Chain A
Amino acid sequence: MPPSIEIQPLLLRVADEDPRALADLYDATVRYAFGILRRMLWSAEAAEEVAQEVYMQVWKTAGSFDPKRSSAWSWLALLTRSRAIDRMRAEGSYRNAVDDLMRREPLSDPPLEPSGHPHQEAAASERAELVRAALGWLPGDQRRALELAFFGGLTHREIAELTATPLGTVKTRIRTSMLKLRERLGPELER
C-alpha cells in the first residue's frame, strides 16, 4: 500500500489527532516499516521496540508532515530509518548491523512475502519491483555505497573508511546512484 495515494489522507487525519486514522495507517504501513527495521537492526526485539517508537512519533509529529515537500510514504520511511539509526548508535549495534548488511544479498534480490491484503500488496509489489530492477542496473560499488548510507546508517566518511575508498569517490558513487535511480524510476508517482 505505501506507494499509493491512500496513506496521505490517513496521515493528514492523524495530524488532526484522529486515533482511528492511526490504526488504519498502522495496518497499511507496518509491514513495510517493520521490513525496514528488520533490515537495519540486529534483533527482532529491537525492531519491535523501535516500531512502537516510530508510530508514537507519527502520532505526535504528523502535524509536521507537508504534502508539498514529501509523499506520506517517504516521510514515514525516513522517520523509520532515523529512529533505527538512533537505536543502532545508542546500542552500539552499528558495526554489527553494518557487517550484516555487507554480507546480505543486494536489495535487487529479495522476494516479497505473502500478505493478507492482496490488492494493496499488488501496488506495493509493482513499485518495489521497479525499484529493485533499477537497483539491479547500478554497478555493485554504487549500490553498496547507497545501501551502506541508507540502511547501514553510515556517513560518507565512515563508508570511505570501511571500504578503504577515497571520500570523494564515495560521494560520487552515492550521488550517481541516487540520480540514476531517480532517472530510472521516472516521474514521482502520486503517493
Chain B
Amino acid sequence: MNETTRMSDDHFHDLAIAHLLGELDTAREAEFRAELIRRGAPGHATLRELRETLGDLALAVAPAEPPPSLRARVLTSVGAPVSAPELPPARERSLWPWAAAAVLAALTVGLGMWTARLADERDRLRAAVDQLEERVAAADSAKERLAALEEDLDLVGAPRSAVHGLVGTQAFPQAGARMFVDPATGRALLFAYDLPVLGPDELYELWAIGAEGPRAAGVFRPDDEGRARLEIPDPELLRDVQTLAVTVEPAPGGEQPTGEVVLSSGRS
C-alpha cells in the first residue's frame, strides 16, 4: 500500500509562501516540512529566495521617522548606550547662541509637560507589562503546539515511515489524504485535505478494513479549509489492514460504517 505522490512545484511554492507569511496550520506545516526535507538543498534555496523576495517587498514602503523618544526607551531597556547617533555637522555655527537660548527657554516651559509625559509613560509601560505577560502565556501555549508539531515531523520526515495514500471517491474527487506509519513504533497519523464541509451532527470516521471486516480507527472533523489531522489511537487497529476508508457518519461515530465513502486507499 506504499504510495509516493510527488508534490508539484506550484504547490510547493504555495506552501513555502504561506509558511513565510505564517499562514500554515499544523497539518500543512508538517506537509511543507516533509516536502522541504524531501527536496533537500534546492528546496531550501527556493525557500531562501522567496524569503528574500518578501524582504525586498518590505523595502518598497516609504521609510518613516519614529519619535525620538522611542530610541531611548528601546536602548534603556537593554542597557545599551542612549547617546544620539552622529548627526551631520551644523551648517551655521553662528546660530549656536540663539539655538542655546531657544533650548533653555524650551526646557523651562517643557518641564511641566515633561512631568505629565512621564506619568503617561509610566501608565503605558504598565500596560505594556500586562501585555507582555499575556504574550508569555501565549508563547507557552505555542511551545506546546510546537512540541506536538515536532513529534509529527519526526514521523512525517522519517525515511523509514510508510506512506499510504487515500483518494477521493467519485463523488469527492478533490479530497485526499495521506497516512504516515512508523513501523518501529506503530505510531500512525492521517492528514486529510479538501474534505467537504460537514453538518453540525456529522463527522468523518476512518476505517481499517481487513479480512475480518472494518475496524473503527478514529473520528475527526476538518477545519474551515477542509483539512484534518488524526492520530490513530491504537497501532493494533492497522494490523493486517487491506484497505483504509473514510466515511461520513452521524456524531459521535459508530462501530460499523453506515455513511457515504469519501476517501479510500483503493485496495480491497
Contact = CB atoms under 8 A, between A and B. Distances in A.
Contacts of A131: 56-57, 59-60
Interface residues of B, number: 49
A48 to B, nearest CB: 6
A74 B51 contact: yes
A114 to B, nearest CB: 10
A115 to B, nearest CB: 7
Chain B contact residues: helix, strand, loop or mixed? helix
A185 B60 CA distance: 12
Contacts of A107: 57, 60-61
A148 to B, nearest CB: 11
A97 interface: no
Contacts of A27: 71, 85
18 contacts: A3-B56, A27-B85, A30-B66, A31-B64, A35-B61, A35-B62, A38-B64, A55-B74, A71-B55, A73-B58, A74-B51, A113-B63, A116-B88, A131-B59, A146-B57, A151-B61, A178-B50, A191-B52
Nearest to B135: A86
Interface of B: 10, 13-14, 17-18, 20-23, 44, 47-67, 70-71, 73-75, 77-82, 85, 87-88, 124, 128, 224-225
A2 B61 CA distance: 13
Interface in A9-64: 19-20, 22-23, 26-27, 30-32, 34-39, 47-49, 51-52, 55-56, 59
B78 A34 contact: no
A139 interface: no
B65 to A, nearest CB: 6
Interface in A128-156: 128, 131-132, 135, 146, 149-151, 155-156
- Point out which of A23, A47, A110, A185 has the most chain B C-beta atoms below 10 A from its C-beta: A23
- Point out which of B14, B18, B21, B64 has the most chain A C-beta atoms below 10 A from its C-beta: B64
A-B pairs with lowest CB-CB distance, top 5: A74-B55, A19-B80, A77-B58, A31-B63, A110-B62
- Point out which of B22, B55, B225 has the most chain A C-beta atoms below 10 A from its C-beta: B55
Interface residues of A, number: 68
Contacts of B49: 182, 188
Contacts of A127: 56, 59
A174 interface: yes
Given A31-B63, A75-B55, 15 more contacts: A19-B81, A22-B80, A48-B70, A69-B48, A71-B55, A74-B52, A74-B54, A80-B58, A110-B60, A131-B57, A132-B60, A155-B18, A175-B14, A178-B13, A181-B57
Chain A contact residues: helix, strand, loop or mixed? helix
A25 B80 CA distance: 11
Nearest to A17: B78
Contacts of A75: 55
A135 B53 CA distance: 11
Nearest to A130: B56
Contacts of A185: 53, 56
Contacts of A174: 14, 17
Contacts of B81: 19-20, 23
Nearest to B134: A90
Contact of B63 (A3, A32, A56, A191): A32
B42 to A, nearest CB: 15
A179 interface: yes
A52 B58 contact: no
Nearest to B48: A69
Contacts of A69: 44, 47-48, 51
A65 B49 CA distance: 16
A71 B52 contact: yes
B80 A20 contact: yes
A85 interface: yes
A181 B23 CA distance: 21
B136 to A, nearest CB: 12
